[in-house]
Each structure stands twice: as C-alpha cells, then as structure tokens.
C-alpha cells in the first residue's frame, strides 16, 4: 500500500468532482431561530429569547447530498418527505443548491422531519422536532427500491444515511446492499443503532464511539476496549472497513486483515458537531471515488470534519476549503 502523505492527499482532493454518488436515507430540514437572552420568563424558570432572525438548512441525508455537491460531485438523492410546508422548503433549498429533488417520494401520512433549534449568544437553548419515526410501508419501500434500481448502474458509490426516522427498514437494507454489491458499488453507511446488524458486507460503516459501544454492550473507556469493539463489529458485520469517530480524540479506522489506524483530530476549536457525521461520510466517499485508498480517505474526512465543527449549525466544506485545510494543517 502506498504511504499516506500530504502530497497524496492534495492530489486526491484535486481530483474530486464529476462523480455520481447515490444518497439514500432520512432527509430532513434544519431550522434555526437566532436571538439573544436578556431575562428569565416570569411564567417559568426559562430564558426568554428575543428573536432576531430565522434560517433553514438541509439536514440528514439532504445534508450529505449538499456536502457532496460542495465537494464537486453530483449527488443523486432518494428519500421520503411529507406533503407539507417542510417538504416545499426542503425542495426549494435543494433547487437553490442545484440538487435534483426528483428522487424524493411523498408520504402524506407523515410529516417531513423538521428540527428547529433556538440559538442565543452562539449557544443552543432548545430543540423542537416534528417527525414520525415509524417505518415506511412496504409499498412505499418498493417504490424507493425502484428509484434506486434506475440509478444504481450509473453511480460510483452509495451512501446510506440512517437517522432512525423510518425511511430505512431492515428488509429494504438487505435488498439495497445486495443490489449494490451485485454492481460492485462502494457502499458506505452512517448507522443508527436499531439497524446496526443489518448493515452486513458493506464497504464502510461510520459509527461514533457511543453508537459502537452501545451496539457492543461495552463502554469505550480505553484504546484497548476501542480496538476490541472495533474488531468485533468489523468481524460481525463482515464489513470491509469501519471508521469510529471519537469526537475530540479523532477517528479510528479498522480494516480487514490490517492494523488499526488512529487519526488525531485537527480541529483548533469545536463550536458545534451538528452534521459532522454527514461531512465525514461524504468526504470519505468522495475521496474513494477520486481514487483514494481507505487510509487516505479517512485522513481526508478527518480534515473535512475539522473544518465544519468550527461552525455553528449544519455546515459543509468546499473542495477549495478542504484543499487549503490540508495544505495548512497536514503535518506529514
């Protein structure tokens, strides 16, 4: 295997773009209410937020698609929304970012997942969620699979973005992974604990250390436990690789038949980890599509995450920003 180097990483990122990447999962809308707090409510011991502005961003699988778009690739987004104002706003944002919304199916029995965060003085005060996490009906799942079958032959990779909001079912996962493997497509999964053992034989799975520990029934308190958990999950899932994200401790990459690779964080400050997992999986898959091996892709995704967690709210990193980050902060 070629040695990971700054020069190699720069060369790979420069090749980002023009790849068609299929994204399937829980699409959602992230809303933000921005303001300031100057007093406590006389009605209850809670802060009164003086609202100054509001904004909306793509969330969940839609944010994965936006991350890919920012890196220069062409995301093909497939998911489910409700028949409501949240869906209209989500599709408007997709259109503004030149991402096709034709792969979004409508389920009028459920709302579009919307997360509203109230932020004052750069701190999140409260979050309100509109959602129905019940799994979609079999007939709708069949329509989802039909959409994916039409696209799968033309893409370089498939990202499954599971936020546990009902779009992804265990039955659908099995068919989807088998379909991708049949066409020799790189399959990457950002997992939810409820479906974890259904993600078998994928190319990459990216749990955080809490998710990995929960599924394994062990709290990760040391590198020794981390390695045991990582190896155990890798073998149980028969996956090609597993990337455990560890917050301020960076990431750890597990590959079949190889030693674990520990990658330290590159973030100088951490303001908000919202959407960081979306950035990790999208930049990893963009790197693989551009010819990176798994270690190179992991280092690149670590640099990408280091950029977005310095921003408040759901954020993305552009190809130019990522290249500048690697040039400035890669130390080898």
What positions carry a catalytic annotation? 278
Rounded to an integer, what distance in angstroms lies between the CA atom of residue 109 and that of residue 248?
40
* C-alpha gyration radius of the chain: 20
User: What is the number of helices (H) and of strands (E) in the chain?
Assistant: 10, 13
Distance of alpha carbon 91 from alpha carbon 173, whole angstroms: 25
Q: How far, in Å, are 53, 87, 132, 212 from residue 128 at the CA level?
A: 17, 17, 13, 27
Q: Please tell me the distance from the alpha carbon of residue 107 to that of residue 98, in angstroms, as a whole number.
A: 24
Helix, strand, coil distribution of the chain in percent, nearest 5: 40, 25, 35
CB 249 within 8 A of CB 265: yes
> Are β-strands 157-161 and 123-130 bridged in parallel, bridged antiparallel, or unpaired?
unpaired
């Amino acid at each position: 295997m070629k040695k990971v180097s700054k020069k190699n990483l720069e060369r790979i990122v420069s090749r980002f773009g023009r790849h068609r990447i299929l994204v399937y999962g829980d699409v959602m809308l992230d809303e933000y209410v921005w303001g300031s707090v100057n007093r406590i409510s006389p009605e209850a011991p809670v802060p009164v937020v003086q609202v100054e502005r509001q904004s909306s961003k793509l969330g969940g699988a839609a944010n994965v698609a936006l991350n890919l778009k920012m890196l220069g690739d062409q995301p093909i987004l497939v998911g489910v929304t409700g028949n409501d104002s949240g869906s209209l706003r989500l599709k408007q944002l997709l259109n503004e970012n030149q991402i096709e919304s034709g792969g979004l199916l409508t389920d009028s029995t459920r709302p579009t997942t919307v997360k509203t965060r109230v932020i004052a003085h750069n701190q999140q005060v409260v979050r309100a969620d509109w959602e129905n996490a019940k799994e979609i009906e079999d007939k709708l799942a069949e329509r989802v699979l039909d959409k994916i079958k039409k696209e799968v032959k033309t893409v370089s990779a498939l990202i499954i973005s599971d936020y546990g909001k009902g779009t992804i079912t265990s039955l659908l996962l099995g068919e989807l992974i088998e379909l991708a493997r049949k066409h020799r497509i790189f399959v990457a999964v950002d997992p939810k604990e409820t479906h974890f053992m259904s993600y078998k034989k994928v190319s990459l799975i990216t749990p955080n250390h809490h998710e990995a520990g929960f599924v394994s029934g062990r709290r990760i308190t040391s590198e020794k436990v981390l390695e045991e958990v990582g190896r155990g999950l890798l073998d149980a899932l028969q996956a090609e690789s597993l990337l455990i994200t560890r917050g301020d401790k960076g990431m750890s990459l597990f590959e079949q038949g190889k030693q674990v690779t520990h990658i330290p964080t590159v973030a100088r400050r951490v303001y908000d980890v919202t959407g960081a997992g979306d950035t990790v999986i999208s930049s990893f898959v963009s790197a693989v599509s551009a010819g990176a091996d798994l270690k190179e892709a992991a280092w690149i995704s670590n640099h990408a995450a280091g950029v977005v967690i310095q921003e408040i709210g759901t954020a993305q990193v552009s190809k130019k920003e990522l290249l500048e980050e690697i040039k400035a902060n890669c130390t080898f």
